[in-house]
């Protein structure tokens, strides 16, 4: 059995946990702010793409971030010929147009009436 003191400590810890959780509640204003920030980021990305400022060639780390793949997966895409690359001075570069072609060629579309 817990003593009265132990129960008080347990209840205090529970209260502090609940208080901490209550301070992390997301409000509709938080969601609205997040939406506006997200829309602004998307606009900036689209403007960057439209102005042609996106890099022509990307390094492996950038491609891994873009495609959300591991180093091993990226290596497999190179080895099996799925993703063309250029190697200069020990650094591997990927043409962004080629990445887009691979993405388009591997696009899967599931129709509703399939």
Tens of pLDDT along 24-41? Answer: 677 888 888 888 888 888
In a domain, 31, yes or no: no
91-95 sheet: strands from edge to edge: 57-59, 91-95, 86-88
Q: How many domains does the chain have?
A: 1
In a domain, 71, yes or no: yes
At 27 the pLDDT is 83
At 108 the pLDDT is 84
Query: Token pair of 60, please?
Result: 């492996």
In a domain, 62, yes or no: yes
At 39 the pLDDT is 85
Q: What's the pTM?
A: 0.51
In a domain, 88, yes or no: yes
CB-based contacts of 17: which residues, under 8 Å, 6+ apart? none
At 23 the pLDDT is 63
Residue pair 55/98 in contact by the 8 Å Cβ criterion: no
pLDDT digits (tens, 9 = 90+) for 67-86: 999 999 999 999 999 999 99
**Which residue segment(s) compose the domain that 100 sits in?**
57-107
In a domain, 63, yes or no: yes
Strands (DSSP E) found in 1-114? 57-59, 86-88, 91-95
In a domain, 48, yes or no: no
Cα(17)–Cα(6) distance, integer angstroms: 16
Query: 40, exposed or middle or buried, with CB in 10 Å at 0-12, 13-18, 19+?
Result: exposed
In a domain, 15, yes or no: no
Count of beta carbons in the 10 Å neighbourhood of residue 93: 17
In a domain, 86, yes or no: yes
């Amino acid at each position: 059995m817990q003593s009265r003191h132990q129960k008080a400590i347990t209840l205090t810890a529970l209260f502090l946990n609940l208080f901490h959780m209550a301070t992390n509640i997301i409000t509709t204003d938080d969601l609205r702010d997040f939406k506006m920030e997200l829309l602004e980021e998307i606009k900036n990305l689209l403007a960057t793409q439209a102005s042609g400022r996106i890099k022509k060639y990307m390094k492996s780390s950038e491609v891994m971030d873009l495609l959300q793949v591991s180093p091993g997966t990226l290596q497999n895409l190179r080895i099996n010929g799925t993703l063309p690359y250029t190697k200069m001075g020990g650094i591997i570069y990927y043409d962004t147009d080629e990445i887009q072609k691979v993405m388009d060629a591997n696009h899967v579309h599931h129709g509703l009436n399939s």
